[in-house]
Amino acid sequence: ALENIEGKMGEKVGLPCCHEIPSLESLQSYRIYWQKNKTEVVLAYSNGKKIFRHERYDNRTEMDTRNFTLWISPVEILDNGSYQCVVQELRLPRVVCNKHVTFFVTADYSTPNVTAEEIATSCESAEMMVTCSSHGGFPKPKVSGALDSKPVVWNNSQVFESSLGLYNVTAWLWVSLTEDSSFNCSIEYNGLVKSTTVLLKKTNDCVVLTVPPPYNVITASSVVIVIFLLALILAARYLPRH
């Protein structure tokens, strides 16, 4: 039998076994092993007594003495993995049952932090470096971005693993804005999503100058005016005589 169990870091989670002691019997009739990844014994009972507990699970595990559920609290990232519960009957002796449990541990990422730094600006556009970061999650995330609801391809993204086995992620994008735009960053992990949307504002620092007419237009206009004035002077001088 195989069962998948999900749990979050810090929670109390029970991994189910495959046998429940009948009401007329007791724990003394059984030997129970809980092991991880087929090599590491987590907990073992025989003749009603605990005969082994792994030091990494000390003070964090207990077993239900009727149905052999393994309770882990608080869950750590390193608890992620495959477990096996083996139940043996001592008097025959025989294996009563054998159960495999895959335990998926998740840790919530922080709400993405989105920042934008303006690198250059002109009348037409603003060049910005947009950064999205999130930390403290598990498993490894997928980071996606959208500018005005259109998906973007990050220029660069990096995932770092912390000492606790948790992941921190940062992604960068270079954008050229011609107008105010909405930017969304989403962190996806194990079917869960954390998302942040911000408004990227284009600073409008354009100064509109009154453009002077070109030089050749000024010259032509001046010549016309001079000729017109000369004609007036000549007309004033000669007309009264005739």
Residue 207 placed within a domain: no
Which tens digits make up the pLDDT trace of 180-202?
999 999 999 989 999 999 999 98
Q: How confident is the model at residue 62 (pLDDT cuts 50, 70, 90)?
A: very high
Instruction: Indicate the number of domains in the chain.
Output: 2
Cβ neighbours, 10 Å, residue 220: 10
User: At which of 200, 219, 236 does a domain end?
Assistant: 200
Which tens digits make up the pLDDT trace of 110-160?
999 999 999 988 888 899 999 999 999 999 999 999 999 999 999 999 999
* Gap between the Cα atoms of 139 and 106, Å rounded: 6
Same domain? 94 vs 122: no
Residue 215 placed within a domain: no
Q: How confident is the model at residue 26 (pLDDT cuts 50, 70, 90)?
A: very high
Residue 21 placed within a domain: yes
> Is there a cis peptide before residue 139, judged by omega within 30 degrees of 0?
yes
User: At which of 106, 129, 153 does a domain end?
Assistant: 106
Residue 73 placed within a domain: yes
Same domain? 95 vs 12: yes
pLDDT at 38 over 70: yes
List the CATH number of the domain containing 25: 2.60.40.10
Residue 224 placed within a domain: no
Of 86, 73, 6, 81, which Cα lies nearest the Cα of 37? 81
pLDDT at 105 over 70: yes
Q: Which pairing describes strands 13-15 and 30-36: parallel, antiparallel, or unpaired? A: unpaired
Residue 123: what pLDDT? 85
Same domain? 31 vs 78: yes
Beta-carbon contacts of 173 under 8 Å, excluding residues fewer than 6 positions away, are 129, 130, 131, 132, 145, 152, 154, 155
Q: Which domain holds residue 145?
A: 113-200
Mean pLDDT for the chain overall: 89
How many Å separate Cα 218 from the centre of its chain? 63
Averaged pLDDT for residues 5-11: 96
Same domain? 184 vs 119: yes
Same domain? 11 vs 93: yes
